[in-house]
Amino acid sequence: MRIEPVIQGVVARTAHPLGCEQAVLQQIEYVKSAKPITQGPKRVLILGASSGFGLAARIALTFGGANADTIGVSFERGPSEKGVGSAGYFNNLAFKKFAEREGHIAVNINGDVFSDAVREQVVEAIETYFEGEVDLVIYSIASGMRRKPGSDEFWRSAIKPIGDAVSGATIVLENDTWVDTTLEPANDEEIDSTLHVMGGEDWESWIDTLINNESIAPGCKTIAFSYVGPSITHPIYLDGTLGRAKIDLHQTSHSLNLKLANFDGGAYATVCKALVTKASVFIPGLSPYMLALYRVMKEKGTHEGCIEQMHRLFSDKLYSHTSVPVDGERLVRMDDWELNPNTQQRVREVLAEMNGSNFQQMGDYAGFKAEFLRLNGFGFDGIDYDADVDLERF
């Protein structure tokens, strides 16, 4: 069948398997040419490994000098009568193929990261493939819902402000339009549910499970990804339900750090740059800022995608020092280039002029949308998108 990009709102409904493979390959080629990761981990568990920062971290650690073996957990759908399959499904297949081709262990576990069954599979895989221990655990989960333990009910996250309504604009990728929106404040139940889904509770529970199963190696580290952003994004992000959950994640890193100190290891919340991911495009009011940021950072030559961010994290921060460089709140700051004062001043100037009539010209909308399409396997040179794809091969 011929696969074309189909976008509904800000959700991709199709993915191209050959394009996803090319996306993985290009990231591999980048890390092989970059500064090598030295003294990196050899046995890595990635919870949320199929796209964005999780996939980039897996690629960087396997092919960027550390030569790590990996277990990747994600919840992806393959080809079926209902659709062609998700980009993450094809990313996992491509990564495994390229990793095993170079002699690396690459285990893919497809299932709900919040379920007991998946935990049992992970512990068994660690015992089978990693001699029972992991050196690094990456928590990169971006889910809108989480099953309550021992129940058929779910917590559902809500991306809303807290206290007061907030107005902003969202870019609808489906039809390239600017939509002004006003978000009403979250109620207490929505705040609490978002904390359960996107805070640090599940991260800590996973580490506790690994400790209890004696799966933590000496010196083991764990990281989880976060975002803070500049003051202009705080009303919808840091001061809202998402920010409240991320603050909980940061606090969780401190308790986990104490636990892993018993293994001479550590736990860190890693604050990343604003980037186009399957999760970030859902955040109302953030896309105009990202259009301006992409334009400014590309002009300054400081723009990074997920793979550049992750490779710099491991080569320059997490494994290049006797101690991990952190700020006063024990956060690893990968958003240092984004929050450069000159960069932010220029971003504010661009945003002041941006509106629904000129956003495609004022911001880097072309780059923003092209990056979104590439997340789903579209827009790569050398691929005949008019050709039929035999999905039975995947």
Distance CA 241, CA 198 (A): 9
Encode pLDDT of 285-307 as tens digits.
Answer: 899 999 999 999 999 999 999 99
Using the predicted structure, report yes or no on whether residue 164 has a pLDDT greater than 90. yes
- The binding site for substrate comprises 227
Encode pLDDT of 37-67 as tens digits.
Answer: 999 999 999 999 999 999 999 999 999 999 9
pLDDT of residue 156: 96
Q: Which of the pair, 170 or 101, is modelled with greater confidence? A: 101
The sign of the torsion formed by the CA atoms of 84, 97, 304, 45 equals positive
Using the predicted structure, report yes or no on whether residue 278 has a pLDDT greater than 80. no
Tokens of 219: 């010196």
| Mean pLDDT to the nearest integer, 309-338 | 94
**In Å, what is the CA distance from 11 to each residue of 6, 176, 339?**
8, 13, 28
Q: Do the Cβ atoms of 297 and 337 come closer than 8 Å? A: yes
- Report the DSSP beta bridge partners of residue 223: 138, 268
User: pTM of this prediction?
Assistant: 0.96
Using the predicted structure, report yes or no on whether residue 23 has a pLDDT greater than 80. yes
Q: Do the Cβ atoms of 70 and 103 come closer than 8 Å? A: no
- The binding site for NAD(+) comprises 48-53, 75-76, 112-113, 141-142, 246, 275-277
pLDDT of residue 194: 96
| Mean pLDDT to the nearest integer, 70-91 | 94
Distance CA 73, CA 189 (A): 29
Return the minimum-mean-pLDDT range out of 6-10, 15-19, 72-76, 119-123: 6-10
- CATH topology (fold) of 7-375: Rossmann fold (3.40.50)
Encode pLDDT of 236-271 as tens digits.
Answer: 899 999 999 999 999 999 999 999 999 999 999 999
Catalytic residues: 237
Distance CA 141, CA 113 (A): 8
Using the predicted structure, report yes or no on whether residue 190 has a pLDDT greater than 90. yes
Average model confidence (pLDDT) across the chain: 95
Q: Do the Cβ atoms of 220 and 270 come closer than 8 Å? A: no
pLDDT of residue 339: 97
Distance CA 222, CA 187 (A): 32
- The binding site comprises 48-53, 75-76, 112-113, 141-142, 227, 246, 275-277
